Structure 1
Amino acid sequence: MLTDHFRKYRLLCLALLGGVVVYFLDAVMDWLVFYPGSFSDLLYANVPPHEWYIRLVLLFLFVGFGIYAQRQVSIRERLNADLQQTVADKEALLREVHHRIKNNLSVVLALVEMQRENVQDSRTLETLDQVRTRLDAIILIHKQIYSQDHFASMRLDTYLQKLGTRLLDLYNHNGRHIELVYEMEPVEVSPKEAVPCGLICSELLTNACKHAFDAGESGTVTLRLAAVPSGFAMSVCDNGRGFPESFSLDDSTGLGLQLVRSLARQLNGTLRLHNTAGSCITVHVS
């Protein structure tokens, strides 16, 4: 109990101790220089009136400083406690927001899947599948952020691995076996950057799984993420048939690659296509 009180009022106690020490040192100096009698007389018995005034003033100054410092410490501790409570409330609110967004998008995804069961047209089914994968990419971001202890950033490599695994399950059927290889480095991004990165990765992985290999053919898709001095680079490569020689990313009219170009501009990134031994599309984000 005594230790707790001292810890709480440590500055006041130290100031009081400092005042006593100064009182004692002042008596020592006077005794050594001026006073011919005993030290005990000068310390408390025969102290000159002006010395009493000086010592009491010094003592009161120390005590006053201790009281002021203790009050400032108490005020700062109270403000820090209030600030920590505000941060905790904000984190709880953000967690709830991400949780609600995830749940609402999950409801939309469930509605899309229900609608898909009642559709027979193959083009409509393909469109609904694309909508489903895009929704799933966004849901996965909010799910990962919700499960973290902080909300300012998230691990892009962890997210892309989960996204790639989920996408691959949609296309490994009818005798196909596409292997997804990860070559990832740790990269931290903000949630604002994670959404376009996830959608870009989803579109490129979907294109590779759908168009790089013939029906029933197996192959390998490599998902790379590397930290570079100015940002990071994300690549989706395959060992399939590749794009035609005359193909250009800038001239592509497909909705998927149009979306990729738009999202890359949103990230202030650049797109590059390597079309040897399959295809490889790289997004450099600075």
Structure 2
Amino acid sequence: MENKITKYKSKFLNQNKLAKRFSLTYILFSIIGVVSFNKFLQHYSEDNNLTSDDTFTFNIIFILFTFIIFILMVNHMQKVIKNIDKSYKDLKRKDKARLAPYEFALNNSVDAIYWFTLDARVVYANNAACNMLGYTKEEMLDMFLEEMDPNFDRNSAQECMIEIKNTKNWTLETTQKKKDGSIINIEVSGHGFIFGGKDYICAFGRDITSRLVYRNEITNMNQELQKSVDEKEILLKEIHHRVKNNMEIISSLLAMQYRRVQDNEVKYILKQSRSRINTMALVHEFLYLGENLAYINLEDYIKRLIEDIKELYISNNTYLNFDLNIDQLIFSTNRCIQVGMVLHELSVNALKYAFKEDRDNLLCIHIKKSNDKIHLKIRDNGDGLENIDSLYKTDSIGMQLVHTIVENQLDGTIEFKNNRGLECNIFFPIKED
């Protein structure tokens, strides 16, 4: 509609052309009218006597009559033209009011907005684009992409336009050159669209120079922090390594003392002490050799612990089979030592009292997650115990240690029963205090 009005307006409101057209039309119409009227008079005069004065008078009357008609036509055309002009101005005013919010949004956008043709020529730039690069709108119009972005040349700029047109959510981090020659970092996103039957590219640019500076600062800080963490991890590993070595030294001293004494009871006490120290040293060995300095895989730790206990306590004539069924659990250092000490005391107790030579001995260790608790079960296939209550009230250092750890450190409960041997069930919360 607007195109039609614009067409009519340009056609009829051109005063020079309008005057020429009406003048030529009037002259042509007058000549045709006069010639036609003269022929009429000639035919009429054959039957009537007309003088030359009468003919002249008729011609004048005809010319005046045609002039009046022509004036009326001109007035009518002027009214039509005024109506067209008024409609055009009204439509233009309405369009301006309708487009005002969009123009305001474009010109006050924080991001720079450009329209490019497919040959990478700028046909529109908003205020943010001009302010960012230091150009006026007149200077930016008809600029090419490579003039503002030194990373492109004529060919690559056109290839970029085609890529944007054919790519959904196209983005790029690049640099642009300001009018004063300085370089800024830009994040650009672009989309293709069609307007007036032609392909265009709409690009949104944002100055990310300050963001990159901040990003580099964060990166440097992260590198420094990572360096500090790595140094602390090395230090912690070294601490665990030294603790393990010191415990091994103590264990070696106990072993030397074990070989010197003759009393069997003292020997057994020294062996138990050495075994308990090895249980704690094993935790530090796992932390030193592992990737995580805070947590240990419980299953791996228990398997190694059982092997160490078996090597220390089982004679060549005793056959022992293990039934291990352990859920995937990751324990902290403290909890691993606590569970390890409990398993150590109960396993040593089974090895001492339940198992015999020249028979198939079985030690079951099951650790399962059950809702918000952990169920630890250890059972041997010995003869069981007639007086179960004696395990709750005992002078044995090992059993006292078990009760202390379970009740005071693990915040759990412990229960003994006969089940094809002695079975111990321990329940404690998953969440550590």
TM class by shorter chain equals 0.7 to 0.9
CA contact (8 A) 2:241 2:288 kept: yes
Q: Give 1:44 deviation, angstroms.
A: 6.4
Q: TM-score, normalised by structure 2?
A: 0.52
CA contact (8 A) 1:19 1:62 kept: no
- Does residue 412 of structure 2 align to residue 269 of structure 1? yes
In structure 2, the residue matched to 1:35 is none
- Does residue 226 of structure 2 align to residue 84 of structure 1? yes
Distance in 2, matches of 1:165 and 1:82, equals 42
Of the three residues 305, 322, 343, the one matched with 1:180 is 322
In structure 2, what residue type is equivalent to 1:136?
A: N
In structure 2, the residue matched to 1:282 is 425
Q: Give 1:213 deviation, angstroms.
A: 3.2
Give the direction of change, closer, same or farther, for the CA distance of 1:246–1:94 in structure 2 (3 Å limit).
closer
- The answer to which structure, 1 or 2, has the higher relative contact order (CA under 8 A, 6+ apart) is 1
In structure 2, the residue matched to 1:43 is 141
Distance in 2, matches of 1:185 and 1:82, equals 38
Distance in 2, matches of 1:208 and 1:241, equals 11
In structure 2, what residue type is equivalent to 1:183?
A: N
Of 115-124 and 248-257, the range deviating more from structure 2: 248-257
Distance in 1, matches of 2:386 and 2:283, equals 34
In structure 2, what residue type is equivalent to 1:273?
A: F
- Count how many residue pairs are aligned between Structure 1 and Structure 2: 249
Matched-pair identity in %: 25
SS in 2 for 1:70: helix
CA contact (8 A) 1:175 1:216 kept: yes
Which string of whole-angstrom CA distances, capped at 9 and with x for unpartnered residues, describes residues 202-256 of structure 1? Answer: 0000000101135655421111222222142222200101122352443222111
Q: How does 1:108-127 map onto structure 2 within 5 Å? A: 108-127=250-269
Q: Give 1:274 deviation, angstroms.
A: 2.3
CA contact (8 A) 1:176 1:217 kept: yes
Greater Rg over alpha carbons, structure: 2
Distance in 2, matches of 1:83 and 1:276, equals 55
In structure 2, what residue type is equivalent to 1:280?
A: E
Higher strand proportion, which one? Answer: 2
CA contact (8 A) 1:177 1:217 kept: yes
In structure 1, the residue matched to 2:173 is none
CA contact (8 A) 1:140 1:163 kept: yes
- Does residue 345 of structure 2 align to residue 203 of structure 1? yes
In structure 2, what residue type is equivalent to 1:113?
A: A
Give the direction of change, closer, same or farther, for the CA distance of 1:42–1:119 in structure 2 (3 Å limit).
closer
In structure 2, what residue type is equivalent to 1:278?
A: G
Q: How does 1:22-101 map onto structure 2 within 5 Å? A: 24=122, 26-27=124-125, 43=141, 65-101=207-243
- Does residue 117 of structure 2 align to residue 21 of structure 1? no
Give the direction of change, closer, same or farther, for the CA distance of 1:69–1:247 in structure 2 (3 Å limit).
same
CA contact (8 A) 1:213 1:241 kept: no
- Does residue 310 of structure 2 align to residue 168 of structure 1? yes
Which string of whole-angstrom CA distances, capped at 9 and with x for unpartnered residues, describes residues 164-210 of structure 1? Answer: 11211233326322222212222110011111111111000000010
Of the three residues 235, 244, 250, the one matched with 2:392 is 250
Q: Give 1:61 deviation, angstroms.
A: 11
Distance in 2, matches of 1:197 and 1:117, equals 30
In structure 1, what residue type is equivalent to 2:330?
A: E
Structure 2 spans left out of the alignment, 5+ residues: 1-110, 117-121, 128-136, 144-177, 187-205
In structure 1, what residue type is equivalent to 2:405?
A: L
Give the direction of change, closer, same or farther, for the CA distance of 1:87–1:246 in structure 2 (3 Å limit).
closer
SS in 2 for 1:277: coil
Give the direction of change, closer, same or farther, for the CA distance of 1:245–1:85 in structure 2 (3 Å limit).
same
CA contact (8 A) 2:112 2:126 kept: no
